[in-house]
Structure 1
Amino acid sequence: MNNGSPLFSGLCTLIEQIASTSGTDLRKRRFEKYLYDFRSQYGHDFYNGMRLLLPHLDHRKYNVKEMKLAKIYIEALGLGRNSADAQDLLKFRQPGSSSNKYVKATGDFAGVAFNKISDRSTVQKPTQTINDVNALLDELSAPEDKDEKPNAVHIRIFRKIINLYTAFEQKWLIRIILKDLKMGMSDGSIFQVYHPQAREMYSVCSNFEKVCKDLQDPFVKLNKSTIGLFQPFKPQLGHKDVPKDVRAISHEGKFYIEEKLDGDRMQMHYDATTQRFKWFTRKSNDYTQYYGEKPLPGKLSGHIVDSLKGVSLVLDGEMMTYDPKLDVFLPFGGLRTAALDTSLDPHKAHPCFVVFDIVYCNNTPLLDYPLKDRIKLLNNVVTENRGWIHLLPRETKTTHQDIINALDRAMSLRQEGLVIKNPGSIYEPGTRNTTWIKLKPEYIDSLNDTCDLLVIGAKYGTGKHRGGRLSQFLCAIRDDRSTTKEPKFMTFCMLGTGYTVDELDKFKEKFKELEPYDAQRQPEWLIHPEKSDENPEMIVDYRRSVVVEVKASEIIWGNTYGSGSTLRFPRFMSFREDKTWEDIMTWSDMNKAKREGTLGGQKRSVTDKDFTGQPKKRKTSAAARKTKLGFSHQGVDTRNIKTKTSLFSDLSFYVVSGDESTNKAQLETMIKENDGKFLQTTHGVKYIVAGSKNPRVDGIISKDEQDIVFPKWIVDCVEEQDLVPLGPKYMLHITEATKDTFRQEMDPWGDLYIKEATEQSLRDVMSRMTIGFNENTQRPLADEIRERYFHHQGIPGMMFLGVKAYLDDDNGTMDSSCLDMHWVRAQKSHERMTLASKQIRFRGGQIVNCIEPGITHVIMDPDNLDRLQALTDATKGTLLPRFVTTDWIDACVNNKTLIDERRYEPKIPHSASTTLSTKHN
């Protein structure tokens, strides 16, 4: 035995105990005891042990995944390729493929392997130490000899493992190699036990070895952790919520407004003495190979070195793709291609670093310096080089109206959004707090924001272009209510449109390890109705999958999915390679989106009300303060009512009266039990509830400002434990605005276009029908057909069904007597617009002759953008339509689906565009 290191089996026992223990505090105590015993006997250096406890933070790469490990073990154990044991290893993800009682969950390769190894292992007593394991892992991570056969080195190493390690040790060794221990203890908890400063230090340096080495002694406290040159850190991120009071983000009454860029978050490290650069992403991935370690031609570093004046610098910014021909930044997605292009063509698209902060200068960390001082320094040490390195402009403002105006301007310029920053704030790595607030504009054809979803399944397509290939993808959200060690994912929608043929091929590249889906044997991490009508043919493990950005019109009822809701008309936007399953939309996010107005198409722009703080209290007389409500107006006593669910969270009600089955007090009790709030006034409430008309109800109706719902809606919501979609059967009074919404979602008798009819629902609809109606049913019927039969891929040939477009074509009446080049260009533009109009009409879209409410797209000729600003101004005050060129029409027709509009927005050169004014502070 090596007395300088404890047995590896002891560490495996610790991990097994932690994995089977409930409660964070108890898990910490178990680790704390082990660490105390280790330090007492072997000293303070526990780095090798930490590498095994947190393998995903260790930079060693083994280049093996489960399938490769299965083949290696089949060879190393001498199993027949077609034997039952070999097939169990190869099909470890297939539910029910193994009778192994040690398997923790479907897809647990280590558990399946343990079963096979334990039947054959002759090693009964553990002999290998923690140091031995690390030496073995060093050998496994070494580059393969090109002269040897593929996997020969790995097979030789694993034969050694089989001869030296017990089956129990191999189970945990496999999980270490796969960098997924499944022990239910977070990095933060392990760091906290190791040393009180470890978590903070790792957030600012992202150097696992440095943290473990510098903080060996738990009783030695270092100075406050700070960043260092060439040490990646976790950047500060923007908070997503709209500020309720600008004072919270102000310093001395002022705040900064910056444009939110649609690029790749990047930090640049530079040492002038050695002319060395390092580039790191927000996840601390090293991207130096793309942007250059030395200032050489063909790399970004070579173009910006003369713009940097400091001895040593660390800059925080956004990496963008710049098109020198158009003098614009291109949409996110082509950055990697542009970075890999090392040609010297001056007209090619290339990376451009847009800097908005400096956190290190001349060997001095600047984290504790206020933002306003960091900006002054940044302007002194960085000089712009157009197209290669830019300083992000900002405005200094004071009121919430300034934010509204800036957001309106961002919408006009089709920018990603805004970031509001506190000038007096320090830089806090790894945090997302309210000193930085990010805001995004809203568009007429989508939810307030796009959704980041996880693809967990797929179906094969049909037809010429999609036949035989995976072309529909089942997407999921994360269930953040789950308390299990392994995360759970709830199916949310089936995605079938929005991607090009090339992007479909990219899906195929990303999904190489698929298993057939069996509704009777679902993985434990998946929540999906067993008898759902929307099932995938193949399924992919959430750890091997990909995050996609999805756009849709709204969130609607959808009991065919595990979340109980779904997206209406979902459309693929882009791959989000910078995100993992931990970053996707959660169950709470989905319900918050439904409550905040995206449900039912009630989308709106940011207004003055979003930024006001607490409402001012109205002065009342003493007599008024003493006045009590009459008994019939008083609410139920809530002191002894306990909240059971969050169904009505953030919702307020005014219950005027009940009905024959449920009285006012019972309704208010239901509201309180489900986390709702009830008032005794109509002011500021979302829902007014009444069972019948009375003088008080008649007074509310006469104002025609608010809807009134029957008590039955409250009862049904509680029974279903979901916000049941409102319809005529639930309404005592309907305002004109709600009638317009209902017209889009249901027929005049309350039959929802998006929900399967039942016997009872048909009876309800029939009871409300009258004879002799006159309605133009053509387009609503097309929407119904699309919803019912072509929900995922759309009606063939009708891709523009939801498009209502205005085409900017004023060249149709030009005088042909003057046949000059201007006339020729105008005629070509007119022909393109005429063809675009026909393409849209032929494929189900609508064309209007003027800017009017409800248009979804403004179509422009790419060679004639003179009226862009005028058209943008004409759409102000409404939800902004998408501005695209005729190239978008061609791309949609060629790919037989609606393509992301952001790729085809009219590009105005920076020199001609109106941008935020630069104010260097």
Structure 2
Amino acid sequence: MSSTKFHVMCSLFNWMQKSKSSAKKRSKFRKFIDNFCKPSDYFSAIRLILPSLDRERGSYGLKESVLATCLIDALGISRESSDAIRLINWRKGGAKTGASAGNFSQVAAEVLQLRQGTTSGELTIKELNDMLDRLASSENRAEKTSVLSELIQKTNAQEMKWIVMIILKDLKLGTSEKSIFHEFHPDAEDLFNVTCDLKLVCEKLSDRSQRHKRQDIEVGKPVRPQLALRVSNAAGAWKKLHGKEVVVECKFDGDRIQIHKNGEDIHFFSRCILDGEMLVWDTSTNRFAEFGSNQEIDVAFDILYVGDTSVIHQSLKERHELIRKVVKPIKGRLEILVPNGSTNVQRPSGEPCWSRIAYSVDDVERFFKEIIDNRDEGIVLKDLASKWEPSDRSIKWLKLKPEYIRAGSDLDVLIIGGYYGSGRRGGEVAQFLVGLAERPTTNSYPRRFISFCRVGTGLSDEELDAVVTKLKPYFRSIILSINSDIRTIRSEVFSAPYSLRFPRIDRVRYDKPWHECLDVQYFVNLPPTQSLDSLHRLVAENGGTSSMNLNNTVTHCIAAESKAVTYLCKKAGIIRECEIIDLCGRYFLHLSEQSKKLLEEEIDEYSDSYFLDLDIVDLKQLLNNVDRLEDSKSVDYYKKKYCPKDKWSCFTGCCIYFHLSTQSLRNPVSKALLELARRRLKLEVSMGGGKVCSSLSQATHLVIQSLLFVDVGIAGPLNSFSTTDVHHICNNKMHVVGSQWLEDSIESSQRLSEDTYSIKLEGLEDLNVGEW
């Protein structure tokens, strides 16, 4: 391999790229390995064929835009030259671009061919690897440019094209890494899955005829994670796991991580491997937050290695028990996700349970709804009897996310820009920049639009071409109806305050004019749980049409809350009664004069319909609409006047404040008995038309509770009140009576005179309340 020229490998790449047969591609690769590589050189070749799996070499730090600039400097051409502009705008098509648009390596090869020619260079595979190591270790752009300049001198344009693709770690050979591994050695993929070490695979499996005993995982060597299979609905997921014991977990929106622990850095376990998710913890609210703020937290949902033993061959249920025993959670730093443990126990008030056992499809659907209502990413269903398999994606783990079912509400947005694509869409608009309208003044169309998100998926090539054709030549605006994951994200790239996760085009709205697109205020105040599709259908079924911004065609605005208008309706029609739309007027926040005149023919001043029947909810709402009389004395007068029985109105106008005497507080038994008596007396006062208050400032009567035959002076109770309360008692001539007054009044079914039961005010001058 030390003398094998790189152009030999380029011939292999060219042949594999052109061939359509997977079997022939594998066969050609095998012949190359057998004929041009010695066992000691396998890694040098494989790392160039599978560059994305090479962990020995660090990152190059070169994507297309930076690589284009470095190539321009390496060639020594002006950045204003046509070739330089072509490299920088490699996605963009044009008269000189042809089929190369969107293919950076091909554009680079065409630019280089004018300066390098077609004669094969003398660069060997070993020399290439050495130079790529230098490129990866270069600390600045000047050093990287120097290495690229040297590579250009030792290669031709076609060889340089493949070097560029190796640097970008995407050869586009039309064959999978699985096929390459299998052709190299039957056990290559399994070994790589548990070590992620391409060099180790090449060294240990140099003899294809000798099978390798399956290697277990080790602390310090990253393992390819087990993956979840996508399902479209809860019923389908449950059917796949039918008859199995199932745990459902929240699918957190974080970065998948493995924690390899070897040593005493964490005192409560020595050697282990945890599988989990890295999230952000908001220390101020004690809950998970978006990336970019507060501190990181690791949530471990599986354990793969304990002590000196791999546990991936144990069931998930057994591994859950192990993680409970081995890992001690640290709040805000490390949590474990198991049923009835850690994150579930410590979750903030109002947060859903994040892991539980499911016994039916209803349990799954209920859990999914709770998780989505909490605006988390989705759920994962796991077979509790399953073993942990690296890189496995099967029915052992199933994931269900809202975008797999039906995304959030369809939103009508306006195309305001486009992005050129790459690959087969190179040189053509493949994605759109869409915007929201700023709400216009009354009776006018929107005049300004702000960027909202970037969207390109959802349309076939034919549909996409049709949209682009209609936009040409002046890029006339078209409305797209898009949906997405139900959650919004704060936008740092676009002008709108929020953007969408994973937006997707649902359909092209050729039927809607540009000025009826969604406006910013509408989107910001959009109810998170309300389906706009259902409201659209409801309006259409009853003869109406709808718009997503306020323009001069709008006659009705439907709001989620009184603070913000969030839905607009053009014609009233006859719309079925519901929480959002109600012809009886009970939910109207504002009415135009025209609407008022129409409603006056249908309802009275309290929104009571002349024609529709009422239920209990309607009746309560109507009574709440009636203005209450402000004069409490008049209310009490009419209550007493029209009360059918005297005992039900004997305490009308009375507001009672209860107070325990000082002597009673000293005896626990006496205090308990008086508390029971107080509860009974409170009910009797209420039944008699009176009120019980918790503040002396509202009271008309101060009732002193004490043991029978105990004489109570006013000084004792008054000493337990504040000076302000004592002043209120004296200045307002409040009735201060014993509880016997209530007892006797209740017995006689009439309010007795307070004078007989009044507690004397001797010694009041000694309480120092006379001067203010």
Residue 93 (structure 1) aligns with: 91
Residue 560 (structure 2) aligns with: 805
**Aligned equivalents of 1:238, 1:153: Cα separation in 2:** 42
Whether the 8 Å contact between 2:557 and 2:567 is mirrored in structure 1 is no
Change (3 A) 1:428 1:137: same
Which of 210, 215, 234 is the matching residue for 2:200? 210
Whether the 8 Å contact between 1:498 and 1:573 is mirrored in structure 2 is no
Residue 502 (structure 1) aligns with: none
**Aligned equivalents of 1:404, 1:392: Cα separation in 2:** 20
Q: Are 2:35 and 1:43 equivalent residues in the alignment?
A: no
Q: What is the 5 A alignment of 1:719-798?
A: 742-745=537-540, 748=543, 780=545, 783-784=546-547, 786=548, 794=549
Query: What secondary structure sits across from 2:299 in the alignment?
Result: strand
Kindly state the Cα deviation for residue 17 of structure 1 after the two structures are TM-superposed: 0.9
Residue 495 (structure 1) aligns with: 434
Whether the 8 Å contact between 1:553 and 1:568 is mirrored in structure 2 is no
Which of 370, 376, 382 is the matching residue for 1:421? 382
Q: Are 2:210 and 1:249 equivalent residues in the alignment?
A: no
Q: Are 2:391 and 1:435 equivalent residues in the alignment?
A: no
Which of 346, 350, 360 is the matching residue for 1:399? 360
Change (3 A) 1:421 1:55: closer
Change (3 A) 1:403 1:183: closer
Change (3 A) 1:266 1:20: same
How many pairs align? 513
Change (3 A) 1:434 1:803: farther
Kindly state the Cα deviation for residue 356 of structure 1 after the two structures are TM-superposed: 1.5
**Aligned equivalents of 2:332, 2:154: Cα separation in 1:** 58
Q: What is the 5 A alignment of 1:145-544?
A: 151-241=141-231, 242-244=234-236, 246=238, 248-249=240-241, 254-273=245-264, 275=265, 305-306=266-267, 308-309=268-269, 311-330=270-289, 333=290, 335-338=291-294, 350-394=295-339, 395-407=356-368, 409-410=370-371, 416-439=377-400, 448-449=406-407, 495-497=434-436, 529-533=467-471
Sequence identity percentage: 25
Change (3 A) 1:359 1:439: same
What are the superposed Cα offsets for residues 274-307 of structure 1, whole Å, 9 maximum, x if unpaired?
x3xxxxxxxxxxxxxxxxxxxxxxxxxxxxx34x
* TM-score where L is the length of structure 1: 0.47
Where relative contact order (Cα < 8 A, 6+ residues apart) is larger, the structure is 1
**Aligned equivalents of 1:600, 1:370: Cα separation in 2:** 44
Instruction: Specify the code of the residue in structure 2 equivalent to 1:373.
Output: E
Residue 127 (structure 2) aligns with: 132
Q: Are 2:45 and 1:53 equivalent residues in the alignment?
A: no
**Aligned equivalents of 1:4, 1:553: Cα separation in 2:** 50
Whether the 8 Å contact between 1:458 and 1:537 is mirrored in structure 2 is no
Instruction: Specify the code of the residue in structure 1 equivalent to 2:44.
Output: N
What are the superposed Cα offsets for residues 574-612 of structure 1, whole Å, 9 maximum, x if unpaired?
9xxxxxxxxxxxxxxxxxxxxxxx99947xxxxxxxxxx
Kindly state the Cα deviation for residue 27 of structure 1 after the two structures are TM-superposed: 1.6
Query: What secondary structure sits across from 1:227 in the alignment?
Result: coil
Please list every run of 5 or more consecutive structure 2 residues that lacks an aligned counterpart in the other structure. 340-355, 439-449, 478-492, 524-529, 571-576, 582-586, 588-772
**Aligned equivalents of 2:317, 2:387: Cα separation in 1:** 9
**Aligned equivalents of 1:573, 1:198: Cα separation in 2:** 55
When the two chains are superposed, the root-mean-square deviation of aligned CA atoms in Å is 5.2
Query: What secondary structure sits across from 1:56 in the alignment?
Result: helix
Whether the 8 Å contact between 1:372 and 1:423 is mirrored in structure 2 is yes
**Aligned equivalents of 1:226, 1:537: Cα separation in 2:** 60
Kindly state the Cα deviation for residue 378 of structure 1 after the two structures are TM-superposed: 0.7
Instruction: Specify the code of the residue in structure 2 equivalent to 1:314.
Output: I
**Aligned equivalents of 2:308, 2:136: Cα separation in 1:** 34
Whether the 8 Å contact between 2:2 and 2:125 is mirrored in structure 1 is no
Q: What is the 5 A alignment of 1:805-844?
A: 805-806=560-561, 837-840=562-565
What are the superposed Cα offsets for residues 772-814 of structure 1, whole Å, 9 maximum, x if unpaired?
xxxxx6xx3xx34x3xxxxxxx558999x986425xxxxxxxx
Residue 665 (structure 2) aligns with: none
Instruction: Specify the code of the residue in structure 2 equivalent to 1:185.
Output: T
Whether the 8 Å contact between 2:420 and 2:430 is mirrored in structure 1 is yes
Whether the 8 Å contact between 1:243 and 1:437 is mirrored in structure 2 is no
Residue 573 (structure 2) aligns with: none
What are the superposed Cα offsets for residues 739-788 of structure 1, whole Å, 9 maximum, x if unpaired?
x975544774xxxxxxxxxxxxxxxxxxxxxxxxxxxx6xx3xx34x3xx
What are the superposed Cα offsets for residues 830-886 of structure 1, whole Å, 9 maximum, x if unpaired?
xxxxxxx244489999xxxxx96559xx9xxxxxxxxxxxxxxxxxxxxxxxxxxxx
**Aligned equivalents of 1:434, 1:568: Cα separation in 2:** 42
What are the superposed Cα offsets for residues 604-637 of structure 1, whole Å, 9 maximum, x if unpaired?
xxxxxxxxxxxxxxxxxxxxxxxxxxxxxxxxxx
Residue 6 (structure 2) aligns with: 8
Whether the 8 Å contact between 2:410 and 2:532 is mirrored in structure 1 is no
**Aligned equivalents of 2:432, 2:88: Cα separation in 1:** 30
**Aligned equivalents of 1:6, 1:529: Cα separation in 2:** 50
Residue range with higher mean Cα deviation, 406-415 or 9-18: 406-415
Larger radius of gyration: 2
Which of 25, 28, 52 is the matching residue for 1:27? 25
Whether the 8 Å contact between 1:260 and 1:418 is mirrored in structure 2 is yes
**Aligned equivalents of 1:797, 1:91: Cα separation in 2:** 43
What are the superposed Cα offsets for residues 487-538 of structure 1, whole Å, 9 maximum, x if unpaired?
9999687632599xxxxxx999x99xxxxx9xxxxx9997564422499799
Whether the 8 Å contact between 1:550 and 1:571 is mirrored in structure 2 is no
**Aligned equivalents of 1:6, 1:130: Cα separation in 2:** 6
**Aligned equivalents of 1:180, 1:213: Cα separation in 2:** 24
Kindly state the Cα deviation for residue 32 of structure 1 after the two structures are TM-superposed: 1.7
Instruction: Specify the code of the residue in structure 2 equivalent to 1:115.
Output: E
Whether the 8 Å contact between 2:246 and 2:357 is mirrored in structure 1 is yes
* TM-score where L is the length of structure 2: 0.56
Residue 111 (structure 1) aligns with: 106
Whether the 8 Å contact between 1:554 and 1:568 is mirrored in structure 2 is no
**Aligned equivalents of 1:33, 1:66: Cα separation in 2:** 33
Please list every run of 5 or more consecutive structure 1 residues that lacks an aligned counterpart in the other structure. 146-150, 276-304, 339-349, 461-471, 479-483, 500-505, 512-516, 518-522, 539-544, 562-566, 575-597, 603-739, 749-776, 787-793, 807-836, 846-850, 859-921
Whether the 8 Å contact between 2:316 and 2:387 is mirrored in structure 1 is yes
What are the superposed Cα offsets for residues 122-176 of structure 1, whole Å, 9 maximum, x if unpaired?
783532210010111112222336xxxxx43334333322332223322222222
**Aligned equivalents of 1:142, 1:211: Cα separation in 2:** 24
Kindly state the Cα deviation for residue 4 of structure 1 after the two structures are TM-superposed: 3.2
Whether the 8 Å contact between 2:259 and 2:274 is mirrored in structure 1 is yes
Whether the 8 Å contact between 1:62 and 1:140 is mirrored in structure 2 is yes
**Aligned equivalents of 2:147, 2:2: Cα separation in 1:** 24
**Aligned equivalents of 1:225, 1:488: Cα separation in 2:** 47
Whether the 8 Å contact between 2:118 and 2:158 is mirrored in structure 1 is no
Kindly state the Cα deviation for residue 55 of structure 1 after the two structures are TM-superposed: 2.2
